[in-house]
Amino acid sequence: MSLSQWPSEVPRIAARDAAGHKGTFGRVLIVGGCMQAPLVMVGGPALAALGALRSGCGLAELAMPASLLVAGLTIAPSAVGHAIEVDGHGVPTAHVCAALAARAALADAVVCGPGLGAHAGSIVRSIMASARRLVLDADALNAFASDASVQPPSVVASEPDLCTALRARAPGSTVLTPHVGEAQRLVRACGLSETASAADLARALGAVVVLKSHETSIADAAHAWSVRAGTSALATAGSGDVLAGVIAGLWAQATECSTFDLARQAVCLHGLASVQWSAAHGHAGLLAQDLASAIPAELERWRLGGAHAMR
């Protein structure tokens, strides 16, 4: 299916509470960014914060390494910043991981992984133990492969491996957003066949999987759905970070949708924003910030009972 209008089988997004306030529309925590020389990654978490805010959440909190936080807040100045202290190798301490877990427990939804870099496993493990609604993206997914590579079968680890920890989370409480390369690494880490689909991965891990490509596949343990989600303008750095933020932003707003349907809503909203941008500008040159800025108009267009509802 090619996405040119809201698919009839996907529930429309609920109308916004006209009497709501910042607290009504939820708090999203985004954990990411790294400075592990020579690698510096700032944009991913900030773009996810923009995606969350543009999709209507009341508050976005941006947790990044202290040395990068001002840069991240320059990209997403409406977010609240939390500094992550790291050692000389860019690795957070156990104390920092515990503090992030406590903050994740307070959020309505958490995005973990954009630009997080190597050595992300300890953060991912801590946040998985506390976040009620969790979007795992980018380097959080790559951490599963790293975790598997350092745990020989003959060694009994003091903590369960990340795949086991993920399976222990409540059904419907986790969304994974891999692109094709990340999905392949995740499949290998979890001991699945190289030909495993998004549905296979979802069943094996007890999560909703949003497998991003020119055709995006969304699956949980019981359902699978695919859509050609938007235009080729989406083939640009940061568009996936925006999607992770949109998923969390919608999720934080106390939606009554299933997690599977919420993921479908976010993918449609994200894709249709690219359709509108391409109608005005073409199929190349989209910046992730442009994509985030196009979200509110599409959100209003496709709300249930909205002023621009499809007739």
The DSSP line for 172-192 is TSEEE--BHHHHHHHHHHTT-
Percent of the chain predicted with pLDDT > 70: 94
pLDDT for 245 equals 98
CATH class of 27-301: alpha beta
Report the alpha-carbon distance of residue 48 to residue 245 in Å, rounded: 4
**3-state secondary structure (DSSP) of residue 248:** helix
Q: Decide if pLDDT at 306 tops 70.
A: no
Relative orientation angle of helices 288-301 and 43-54, to the nearest 10 degrees: 20
Residues 203-221 as b/e (b if ≥16 CB within 10 A, e otherwise) read: bbbbbbbbbbeeebbbbbb
pLDDT for 2 equals 77
Q: Decide if pLDDT at 150 tops 60.
A: no
Report the alpha-carbon distance of residue 309 to residue 232 in Å, rounded: 26
pLDDT for 309 equals 37
pLDDT one-digit tens code per residue, 76-108: 999 999 999 988 878 888 899 999 999 999 999
Q: Decide if pLDDT at 14 tops 60.
A: yes
Find out whether 15 and 211 touch, Cβ atoms under 8 Å. no
Confidence of residue 156 (pLDDT cuts 50, 70, 90): very low
Find out whether 92 and 127 touch, Cβ atoms under 8 Å. no
**Alpha helix (H) ranges present in the chain?**
43-54, 69-75, 94-106, 121-128, 139-149, 162-167, 180-189, 198-205, 239-251, 259-281, 288-301
The pTM for the full model equals 0.94
DSSP notation for 127-171: HHTT-SSEEE-THHHHHHHHHHHT--TTS--SS--HHHHHHTSPT
Which of 222, 292, 287, 254 has its CA nearest to residue 52?
292
